[in-house]
Structure 1
Amino acid sequence: MGAVAGEHDAAFVGCSAGYYQELIDSPPPREFRTAPAAVHDVEVNLSIANMDFEELAEAASDDPTGVLRLQ
């Protein structure tokens, strides 16, 4: 997975104690990468339950580079 020159990405992994076993038992993807500009949007969407982890991970896997880039 390559990034655009000068761009870094962050990995998000679901890791709350109550969610841990469900995460282990769930099919991949269990993590995803996101562009720094999208980190705030990821946090907000998860906090207000607008999108769940699986939706965000799936959106990232749809990107050719595997990086979530919310607009």
Structure 2
Amino acid sequence: MKTLIREYRNKLGLTQEELAEMVGVTRQTIITLERGRYNPSLILAHRITRALGGEHIEDIFLLDEDG
């Protein structure tokens, strides 16, 4: 799964640590998500989307239909 977490996070001036604290995960989880190496639960995807100012999960998380 591809994500726009890094782009949204940078626009908001948030560090990985700050975002992690906002959504209740570790910085390592944010790193792994940004690299596309981890698919979050629906609840975590929703928390991240809201923390980054997105309205829909699809604003941040992009389904890679080819992979």
| TM-score with structure 2 setting the length | 0.30
- TM-score, normalisation: structure 1: 0.28
Say which structure is richer in strand. 1
Q: With CA pairs under 8 Å and 6+ residues apart, which has the higher RCO, 1 or 2?
A: 2
More helix by share: 2
